[in-house]
Amino acid sequence: MMLGICSRRALHSLRRACSATAPAASFSRPITPFRPHLITPKPTPSLLTLIRPISSFRPSQPLSSVSPSPTPSSASAGPTISRASRNDYRKQLLRVQQELTLLRRRLPPLPKPSRRNLALSLLLLATALVLLYKFVSPFRRLVIAAERCSRVGYAVFRCIIDYKILFRGKWEATPEGKAERHEAYENCHRKCAIRIREVLRTNGGIYIKLGQHLSSVQLIPLPWSQEMRPLQDQCQPTPLPELQALFLSDVGAPLSTFFSSFDPTPIGVASLAQVHRATLRETGQQVAVKVMHPDLEEFSEVDMKTTTLMLKIVKSVFPSFEFTWLGEEMEENLPLEMDFRHEAANAARCAADFASLKTTTLVVPQVIWAKKRAMVMEFIEGARIDDLRYLAEHQIDRNQVSKQLQHIFSRMIYVTGFFHADPHGGNLLIRPAQPGSRSPYNFEIVLLDHGLYFDMAPDLRVNYAKLWLSLISPSSESVESDRRKYAYLVGNIDDSLYPIFQAAITGRAALDDPYAAVQADGGVASEGAKLPEKRGSVLELGEHTEQEQRRMRHAIVQTEGLMLSLFDLLRRVPRRLLMVLKVNDLARALDNSLHTTHGPSRIFLIVAHYCNLSIYISDLSLLSHTYRTSGLSFSLVRQSLSVWWRFELWNVSLGVAAAWADMTAKVVKWRLWARGMRKDGWKRAWEEQAGLAV
């Protein structure tokens, strides 16, 4: 600053000297002024004794005056300055520059930071950051959120690079080339799925929920769903002190106020919450206490935004990949799942939907009270529904268990229109029938975790039921027309996507088989080779063999445009219908895990029964509306008889087919028992009949 003041004073002195001897109008051209501020000095300490007072500087010789007698040639150009004056002016400028240079040399240089000072500064900075992280909650959340987001972003970026490299690959149009292409796609799918799975496991919380959802979606490459299945049992419990703090914050009192005993070891841990067994202090009743993970709400919003952003980035890089609906579904439904009051309302509505039935195997645990992050409900002891040894020890027929599961979920989807959207094995318990039970069998099915439910609009529900009945009906020209008609009404599916849509609904590839030309080993059937026989109805389908599953998996990779068609299907189908397809997939998975002997057609018969009932209820509602508006008429009577006849005809047909399927299933079980007896006596026969030897 002092240097700038001195420079300005020197310039002012120089200008004053020049103005005293030579007016500005006497120069032939303007003189460029000296700008000392363009000289960048080094930083100077305030040592006034080292600064020479430049303000006392005066020119040693005045500038010469203007020539009084200009030549004729120069008169027109204006006044000029003599060469001696210009040289003297340059000397003045040079002297000022020398003074400034000398002044800079006299000032001492700034001290360079030593290694010790640098290390001390870094240590102080690190200490400050650690203290901020430990004691300032917003800063800690910011750091953790940034770490979680960067972890997800890095994994997604690596997957994008892998798929970019994969899609640029070229393979020969030979059986060997197609096999190499299939192997490359499978390896890339599996590698990326494992990478994403590890990130989801590390982040925890709603990321675990996302992985669990992906594991149950059929319309994605098989390696992705397979690699996500371990996340079903990868949830870490929250320590008891953190749960006590959460309970105190939400309820306003410690655990000891409500419970005389509280088991610190959770009996179940899920992605959003964990459940502990406890005893109510007032009544002594055994209860289950469900408490949310404390850190879940802290990062849920940023995690949802990160997931949606990553899916949008993937879509921008690969426009054909349609998975943005996953992010939209999470942002819509996850806040509801994180409010246990909403779950309590769902459980009450589900129980009310089944309350009018005289007989049912369904049991919904009673909710005693619920807060946003804590809920107390009745404790019900049982085993997982796919525990075959437990079923055998309690003499519970696994075939009947599978059928009752299908009865419960079909009634939810096709009749009440309010269905549980996450019925995996961890959310279902089975126990022996209790005294006073409404169950007509020796077991009850307990449905847990009522956080995720969906409503199904009446028109969508009825049209979907009509689609299923058309798939079950024997094939004909009118039936084929109905199938495609209702596929369009239900999912906006045209003829080009109908075969894939039908395979997604049934989980099979036999009707209008889009995979018929692909063999189980991944090769393409040669011209004239025998292709799988096309079936006219889902009731004609046999067992869902491993060969058929491999053929479907290979076809998705090898058939030109089939993967893009799947993504197009995901874009068109309503979100509610995607949830219905998820429930169907989970129900089929439970049927497979129970090792039933009645075959897949028995499940389709139950679905058809409730589809018929749904259509009948809808038709009766329309007839009732017509009667109220137009009164009784011959046409109304004729329509009523037609509706009743169609309903009863389906009932009788389905009843006969169900009786035959049940009888066949019993014969198969007795054959298994006889085979076990021949092999190793009574014990082996018991295991064979119970499905334990499969």
CA dihedral 656, 661, 664, 666 (to 10 degrees): -110
Q: Is 512 a catalytic residue?
A: no
Phi, psi of 293 (to 5 degrees): -65, 125
Measured in whole angstroms, the distance separating CA 566 from the mean position of its chain's CA atoms is 18
Give burial (CB, 10 Å; 0-12/13-18/19+) of 275. buried
Can you say how many angstroms the Cα of residue 230 is from the centroid of all Cα atoms in its chain? 16
Write the DSSP symbol of residue 598.
S
Which ranges in 204-284 belong to alpha helices (H)? Answer: 206-215, 222-228, 240-251, 255-258
Distances (CA, A) of 651 to 384, 594, 618: 33, 27, 16
User: DSSP readout, 450-512?
Assistant: -S-EEE--HHHHHHHHHHHHHHHSPP-HHHHHHHHHHHHHHH---TTTHHHHHHHHHS-S-TT
Catalytic residue of the set 422, 449, 512, 513:
422
Please give the Cα distance from 408 to 609 (Å, whole number): 12
Contact yes or no for 148/302 (Cβ under 8 A): yes
Give me 2's structure tokens.
Answer: 């002092």
- Residue type for position 125: L
Please say whether the beta carbons of 276 and 267 come within 8 A.
yes
Nearest-angstrom CA–CA distance, 11 and 96: 9
Q: Are 224 and 234 in contact (CB under 8 A)?
A: no
DSSP letter (8 states) at residue 283: T
Tokens of 694: 């499969």
- For residue 23, give Cα distances in angstroms to 8, 29, 30, 63, 398: 21, 12, 12, 10, 115
For residue 221, count other CB atoms closer than 10 A to its CB.
19
Give the 3-state secondary structure of 619-635. Answer: HHHHHHHHHHHHCCCHH
Contacts of 625 (CB under 8 A, 6+ apart): none
286: exposed, middle or buried (Cβ count in 10 Å: 0-12, 13-18, 19+): middle
Give the three-class secondary structure for 253.
Answer: coil
Per DSSP bridges, beta strands 367-370 and 374-378 are antiparallel
Report residue 527 as tokens: 């011209």
- What is d(CA 658, CA 472) in angstroms, rounded to the nearest whole number? 13
543: three-class secondary structure by DSSP: coil
Tell me the CA distances in angstroms from 103 to 15, 86, 94, 150, 273, one per residue in order: 21, 26, 14, 53, 74
Residue 105 in tokens = 């040399």
Whole-angstrom Cα distance, residue 199 to residue 151? 7
User: What distance in Å separates the CA atoms of residue 601 and residue 541, rounded to the nearest whole number?
Assistant: 7
- Residue 14, both tokens: 């120089």
- Contact between 401 and 385 under an 8 Å Cβ cutoff? The reply is yes
Catalytic sites, residue numbers: 422
